[in-house]
Amino acid sequence: MLKQIEGSKAVAEAVALCRPEVICAYPISPQTHIVEALGEMVKSERLAPCEYINVESEFAAMSVSIGASAAGARAYTATASQGLLFMTEAVYNAAGLGLPIVMTVANRAIGAPINIWNDHSDSLSQRDSGWMQLFAENNQEAVDLHIQAFRLAEELSMPIMVCMDGYILTHAFERVDIPSQEEVDAYLPSFEPRQVLDPSEPISIGAMVGPEAFMEVKYLAHAKQMQAIERIPQLASEFRSAFGRESGGLVRTYRMEDAETVIVAMGSVIGTIKDVVDEMRDEGHRIGVLTIVSYRPFPLEQVRGALQHCKRFLVLEKSLAVGMGGIVATDVRMAVTGAGLRGYTAIAGLGGRPIFKAQLHQLFSQAEKDELPQVTFLDLDWEAVNRQQERERQTRRSGPVAENILHDKGIVSAKFG
Amino acid sequence: MGFQPIKFYQTGTYTVGNRLLSPDQRSVQAAESRSNSINSGHRACQGCGEALGARYAIDAAMAESHNRLIAVNATGCLEVFSTPYPESSWQVPWIHSVFGNAPAVATGIAAAMKVKGKTDVRVVAQGGDGGTTDIGFGCLSGMFERNDDVLYICYDNQAYMNTGVQRSSATPPAARTATTMPVGPEPGNPFGQGKNLPEIAMAHGIPYVATATVADLRDLEYKVRRAMRMRGARYIHLFVPCPLGWGTASHDTIRIARLAKESGLFPVFEAEHGEVRSVLKIRRKVRVEEYLMPQKRFAHLFGSHPHPEMVIRIQEIADRNIRKYGLLDEEEAA
């Protein structure tokens, strides 16, 4: 059913259609609207049977989810940013125990300085946690990925983060097709846990494992994600047959025919990139787009396959590996090792810095001419950076960095535009 | 025919042998139907108070729940000695997640049971004092505050024993630990610190809070069974001496636990909805020295460079407990 609906509300609807049995809620922007909407559904008994638990922290949110999932219940929670970091120990534990929890990450920057706006630093910090990570391009895909995520997670007994850009998607009103309960029920079978806490058949879960078996346990987690590389496209194609639209998969390509330059990215910025690429195609540029939907598992072969006929690629990412450069770019470069391609990295949109078409147009043109350095920081105010560095050279007690820069820019409170 | 005298081997312990009781009065441990929830063969130290306490507590919880029990364990001695992969002592469904989240994992299991309509399945969470009073405190308080249907049992041996005897917020004043060494002008753990978790639990107004020691195992069984007959958040704080961490003889675990109670240093009571409802009276009051002296962790208070002023402060703590909880019968207290 078509609805004009906020992204968070649409995701809440999708999650409810997946019949979660335990939902843990802890408020953190920009995820909060999702759990608020689910709370109302449970309270009004529209979503039943379901236990909705207002926990005291994100660490508890993940821990309650672990208990619920180990006891055989379909468990869901949502978080972002600091909240994801606060639950990190339990995040790794859920994956280690092979519990198929689904969690929405409304991607948001990590402080300090504290910042509530969108980038991908939060979920990317958990890339080695053993969770799968699927990135939505728009709210329709966010809805669809949740439905696919429960199916994939439970099939493999591995948890999944469905990542959607904070505010840009969570707070955007868009037209979204919300499927019917019958359609979702037909696609998503009920949860049959691989191991369960049951007094009739007692088992011990989470025993200590020493060097004699730890490597094998970890390898098996890796092997499951390799299995997901096979299953994700199959589930996406099944989804297309059942729901009549393209959503999910490992990667997606756009205007890649005879492309010499390929822009690689994840999440909602793909929309802006496609617009720029359309314009440049109209101007005769041979440029295309590669969207990474599945960040974990990372589809090395599919990325290589998509890029192997181009001359160069530019990874535009909303994340920064401090002291190194790009995070996604590192994986992409690994995928094309030995292919003889020129690769560039653009760090963009950190902490919600808007990414404009004009900037991208210029960036892509420079890439085409191989005029870019290895790593570009899009829209970085070099003057502000230089002034702060100079200040630090001059004075030992040079003051708080963020406040100095805001002062230099004459900004009292953050504003965009 | 001569007269055959009957020997009472347990003279002086107040314990009545089960053989003299009718079957319905016998303890869970003495019952043929006891579940042996934590089987033999685990790797606890000789004389471990926690192993003993956990066995009695979980068997009692099993008896009361008709063997429909799921147990959660925080990281710690109990977790490590009972489940070295691929062995497990647990005869009940058991899960260990991480150090600080046992109460929350238990909440999740209780929620799953409720949503599935399996309300006959009960949930017990357990941890040591570190997992309870320190790292798991936030999750524990959350579980209490929401009145989740979980019995939480803290096995309090007053320090982080699994990692090598470091101080926790349950470590008593003056005690030597690896991080509060008996050196300097005020040796051992400082006075005026630490948490009283049973009282904090009571402040949440939860249905049931009780303390117990491994010296009174009938009392422990009674309290666990009582707790299991209730719904909502329940808390039992169990005093479990640690021969390794305290420097006591393995055969003295019960005696030390009894002295903790008889000195007034560890008040044994039950409370409902934040109100103390009963206390286990001191039967033979002892001075704190009698409790402290057999323990190497307090050796620096005595011997060649004694600290009698610190012993006096510890006695003051015991006396305050006695007044506060009314641990002595009135004629004795007068």
Q: Are residues A176 and A283 in the same domain?
A: no
In 3D, which of A239, A178, A188 has the Cα closest to residue A19? Answer: A188
Average pLDDT value for chain A: 96
Element containing residue A118 per DSSP (H, E): none
Burial environment of residue A284 by CB neighbours within 10 A (0 to 12, 13 to 18, 19 or more): exposed
Among A243, A264, A289, the domain-final residue is: A243
Q: Which of B90, B100, B108 comes nearest A204 by C-beta?
A: B90
The CATH number that applies at residue A83 is 3.40.50.970
For residues A352-368, average pLDDT: 98
**B100: chain A residues, CB-CB within 8 Å:** 59, 89
Best probe of the A interface among B101, B119, B139, B204, by most A CBs < 10 A, is B101
Residue in chain B closest to A207 (alpha carbons) equals B83
Q: How many CB atoms lie within 10 A of CB B94?
A: 28
Among A190, A219, A243, the domain-final residue is: A243
For residues A379-399, average pLDDT: 95
Q: Are residues A159 and A238 in the same domain?
A: yes
**A20: chain B residues, CB-CB within 8 Å:** none
For residues A256-272, average pLDDT: 97
Residue in chain B closest to A213 (alpha carbons) equals B85
* Beta carbons of A199 and B113 less than 8 Å apart: no
Q: Are residues A118 and A212 in the same domain?
A: yes
- Length of chain B equals 334
Q: Are residues A232 and A291 in the same domain?
A: no
Q: How far is B82 from chain A (nearest CA, A)?
A: 9
User: Token pair of A383, please?
Assistant: 């003057």
* B16, amino acid identity: V
* Whether CATH 3.40.50.880 fits B32-333: no
For residues A239-259, average pLDDT: 97
CA distance B129 to B235: 13
* Beta carbons of A90 and B97 less than 8 Å apart: yes
* Beta carbons of B107 and A50 less than 8 Å apart: no
Q: Are residues A299 and A393 in the same domain?
A: no
Q: What is the pLDDT of residues A150-190, one digit of tens each?
A: 999 999 999 999 999 999 999 999 999 999 999 999 999 99
Q: Are residues A223 and A353 in the same domain?
A: no
* B304, amino acid identity: S
**The pLDDT of residue B155:** 98
Q: What is the pLDDT of residues A85-117, one digit of tens each?
A: 999 999 999 999 999 999 999 999 999 999 999
Q: Cis (ω within 30 of 0) for the bond into B182?
A: no
Best probe of the B interface among A208, A209, A214, A218, by most B CBs < 10 A, is A208
- Length of chain A equals 417
Q: How many CB atoms lie within 10 A of CB B120?
A: 10
CA distance A153 to A372: 40
* B329, amino acid identity: D
User: Token pair of A320, please?
Assistant: 């920064």
* Beta carbons of B104 and A67 less than 8 Å apart: yes
Residue in chain A closest to B74 (alpha carbons) equals A206
**The pLDDT of residue A417:** 45
SS3 readout for chain B? CCCCCCCCCCCCCCCCCHHHCCHHHCCCCCCCCCCCCECCCCCCCCCCHHHHHHHHHHHHHHHHCCCCEEEEECCCHHHHHHCECCCCCECCCEEECCCCCHHHHHHHHHHHHHHCCCCCCEEEEEEEHHHHHHCCHHHHHHHHHCCCCCEEEEEECCCECCCCCECCCCCCCCCCECCECCCCCCCCCCCCCCCCHHHHHHHCCCCEEEEEECCCHHHHHHHHHHHHCCCCCEEEEEECCCHHHHCCCHHHHHHHHHHHHHCCCCCCEEEECCEEEEECCCCCCCCHHHHHCCCHHHHHHCCCCCCHHHHHHHHHHHHHHHHHHCCCCHHHHC
Domain count, chain A: 3
- Please check the confidence at residue A415 and state whether its pLDDT lies above 60: no
**The pLDDT of residue A59:** 98
Q: Are residues A305 and A189 in the same domain?
A: no
* Beta carbons of A213 and B98 less than 8 Å apart: no
Q: Are residues A27 and A50 in the same domain?
A: yes
Q: Are residues A289 and A403 in the same domain?
A: no
Q: Are residues A90 and A231 in the same domain?
A: yes
For residues A283-305, average pLDDT: 98
pLDDT tens track of chain B, all 334 residues? 577 776 655 555 555 566 677 777 788 998 888 999 999 999 999 999 999 999 999 999 999 999 999 999 999 999 999 998 788 999 999 999 999 999 999 999 999 999 999 999 999 999 999 999 999 999 999 999 999 999 999 999 999 999 999 999 999 999 999 999 999 999 999 999 999 999 999 999 999 999 999 999 999 999 999 999 999 999 999 999 999 999 999 999 999 999 999 999 999 999 999 999 999 999 999 999 999 999 999 999 999 999 999 999 999 999 999 999 999 987 665 5
- Please check the confidence at residue A414 and state whether its pLDDT lies above 60: no
The CATH number that applies at residue A338 is 3.40.50.920
pTM value is 0.96
Q: Is A147 helix (H, G, I), strand (E, B) or coil?
A: helix
**The pLDDT of residue A413:** 58
Residue in chain A closest to B82 (alpha carbons) equals A207
Best probe of the A interface among B107, B119, B152, by most A CBs < 10 A, is B107
Q: How far is A53 from chain B (nearest CA, A)?
A: 8
Cβ contacts of residue A240 below 8 Å, gap of 6+? Answer: A246, A247
Q: Which of B94, B142, B145 comes nearest A204 by C-beta?
A: B94
**A63: chain B residues, CB-CB within 8 Å:** 97-98, 101, 104-105, 107-108, 139
The answer to whether B141 and A56 have CB atoms below 8 angstroms apart is: yes
Domain containing residue A295: 251-377
**A68: chain B residues, CB-CB within 8 Å:** 108-109, 111-112
Q: Are residues A228 and A141 in the same domain?
A: yes
**B88: chain A residues, CB-CB within 8 Å:** 204, 207
* Beta carbons of A208 and B113 less than 8 Å apart: no
**The pLDDT of residue A411:** 75
- Please check the confidence at residue A49 and state whether its pLDDT lies above 80: yes
Q: Are residues A157 and A268 in the same domain?
A: no
Residue A225: phi and psi, rounded to 5, are -70, -35
Q: How many CB atoms lie within 10 A of CB B250?
A: 12
In 3D, which of A331, A384, A385, A355 has the Cα closest to residue A117? Answer: A355
- Please check the confidence at residue A331 and state whether its pLDDT lies above 80: yes
Cβ contacts of residue A387 below 8 Å, gap of 6+? Answer: A404, A408
